[in-house]
Amino acid sequence: MRPTDWRKATVERIRPETPRAATLTLNVPGWSGHRAGQHVDVRLTADDGYQAQRRYSIASAPADGAPQITVVEVDGGEVSPWMVSVAREEDTFEVRGPFGGWFVWDPAHTEPVLMIGGGSGLVPLMSMVRAGAPARLLVSARDRDDVLYLDELEKRGVDLALTYTRRMPLGWTGWNRRVDREMLWKWQPRVGPRVYVCGPTAFVESVADDLVFLGHDPANIRTERFG
């Protein structure tokens, strides 16, 4: 089978991540593995034949085997509400991939990397972290409920910095604003490492601009933007 062939995916396990997000572990016969950061295309078919197609980043590490996708529910969305609120074990849809060869991390890249994620932008970064990427991670979230994988990141001892843009947890003394130049400078003044930035368009635009302003080589900055 080729990556471009559609195959049947069976939901093997569902794990709620936040009130608005869930991780689905997929059983995909013939799955040939992926690179950390890649995505799959999924296709859902309704009883009347109506089909919807979307792309979701893979959250699991290549070594984990069965691919996992983490989906954050989009207000007024069509596929994401199904993934987060309707799906249950043994449900099926179609999947193909993996795709994408740019926003990826391979173990051959042994130098430290910087990662900056906003909202669901954390998903492909998490795949890289789980794959062993030597990363410092800066996460921007609206509030505590908006942070994916927090327990696991802490358990893994990941070098993690957080900023809350709307509501801070009780007793929070850290950053509580959008990512800006001063924050990026304080977080990591050294330029040179490869930087991965993923999140909503406005977030990625402003963070990437700030990184260039701070002296990072644009060629070292890899971005992925979600609507």
Q: Which residues bind other proteins (CB under 8 A)?
A: 2-4, 8, 41, 43-55, 77-79, 81-82, 86-87, 91-94, 99-103, 201, 204-205, 208-209, 211-212, 218-219, 221-223, 225-227
- 38 contact partners, CB below 8 Å, separation of at least 6: 57, 58, 97, 98, 99, 100, 101, 104, 124, 127
Q: What angle is formed at CA 108 by the lines to CA 103 and CA 110, rounded to 5 degrees? A: 95
Residue closer to other proteins by CB (options 164, 203) is 203
Whether omega before 98 lies within 30 degrees of 0, making that bond cis, reads yes
Least distance from C-beta 56 to other proteins, angstroms? 11
- From residue 15, give the alpha-carbon distance in Å to each of 3, 65, 69, 197: 26, 17, 10, 25
Residue closer to other proteins by CB (options 52, 66) is 52
Residue closer to other proteins by CB (options 101, 189) is 101
The CA-based dihedral angle spanning residues 107, 108, 110, 113, taken in that order and rounded to the nearest 10 degrees: -70
Least distance from C-beta 142 to other proteins, angstroms? 19
Residue closer to other proteins by CB (options 99, 172) is 99
Least distance from C-beta 221 to other proteins, angstroms? 5
User: Counting Cβ atoms within 10 Å, is residue 117 exposed (0-12), middle (13-18) or buried (19+)?
Assistant: buried
Residue closer to other proteins by CB (options 44, 72) is 44
Give the SS3 label for residue 148.
Answer: coil
DSSP β-ladder status, 51-57 and 113-118 = unpaired
Least distance from C-beta 200 to other proteins, angstroms? 9
Least distance from C-beta 225 to other proteins, angstroms? 5
